[in-house]
Structure 1
Amino acid sequence: MPNDKVTGPARFYYATCYSFKGMRAAFVHEPAFRYELYAVLLMLPFSFWLADSVFKLALLLVSCLLVLMAELINSAIEAVVDRAGLEFNELAGRAKDLGSAAVFVTLMIAALVWGAALWERLAAL
């Protein structure tokens, strides 16, 4: 079997295209991803007011991006489990619950980071 995998800059180009295709699929088919993306877009301008350093700004933005990343992974898990079959399976349910828990943990991380930044900002006023 010949190795016809694309390499070099073309590989980067195709990988980027697949990534945007996945983001579009999440936006079109996953309401939770849309809601979280809208929240991130609303929080973006607020993060510039809240952060008093580049590091704090990065921390605020990364905490939001982690939520989106976890939601993408959770959606991928759900898609694979749903593809495997619609009948109840304890392991399939556990996989979906674990993916959901990962999203919840990242939401708690974001809430902690944003809460701490807000607390510090309000204390300085």
Structure 2
Amino acid sequence: MNDTHSPYKSKGGPRRLAGALRYSLQGLGAAFKHEAAFRQELLAAVVLIPLAFWLGNTLVEQALLIAAVFLVLIVEVLNSALEALADAITLEQHPLIGRAKDLGSAAVMLSIALACIVWLAVIVHHAAA
């Protein structure tokens, strides 16, 4: 077993934090530039997050509504990363690559379903009150 460390891993400290922030912003920029689904979900987030402050009666309700929206964005970014990596490996049809992409898509669908459940639960709770 090779016990050496990756030359690409940082050592820590303020420079690591600055680099991590830079890479994260580059990732968000890439998602926005290259992923139509991310842009659509981001547009939904721009509408839903302010709505969460109006709809949620408590801080916990607001946090749940916002967290559900953020979860969709997070899962979409991870799915996009998986798809980019898969495409870098090969653009040819491969059953395992196809399965990996399908699993990533399923994760996005499940996160959207969860967000819908959370939002509907809060709306129904308020309608019943």
TM-score under structure 2 length normalisation: 0.91
How many angstroms apart in 2 are the aligned matches of 1:81 and 1:39?
Answer: 27
8 Å CA contact retained: 2:52, 2:62: yes
Find the counterpart in structure 2 of residue 114 from structure 1.
119
2:81 is aligned, of 76, 80, 92, to 76
Give unpaired runs (5+ residues) of structure 2.
none
State the SS of the aligned residue for 2:93.
Answer: coil
The answer to whether the aligner puts 1:67 opposite 2:62 as a matched pair is no
**Count of residue correspondences:** 124
CA deviation string 1:35-94 (max 9, x = no partner): 000001111121111101001100000000000000000000100111111111000000
2:35 is aligned, of 25, 30, 35, to 30
Find the counterpart in structure 1 of residue 100 from structure 2.
95
The percent identity for this pair of structures is 44
* Residue 29 of structure 1: how far off its partner (Å): 0.3
CA deviation string 1:1-46 (max 9, x = no partner): 9979342111011101100100000000000000000001111121
Q: What amino acid maps onto 1:14 in structure 2?
A: G
Q: 1:5 to 1:47 in 2, by over 3 A?
A: closer
The answer to whether the aligner puts 1:45 opposite 2:50 as a matched pair is yes
Q: What amino acid maps onto 1:76 in structure 2?
A: A
Two-structure CA RMSD over aligned residues (Å): 1.7
TM-score under structure 1 length normalisation: 0.94
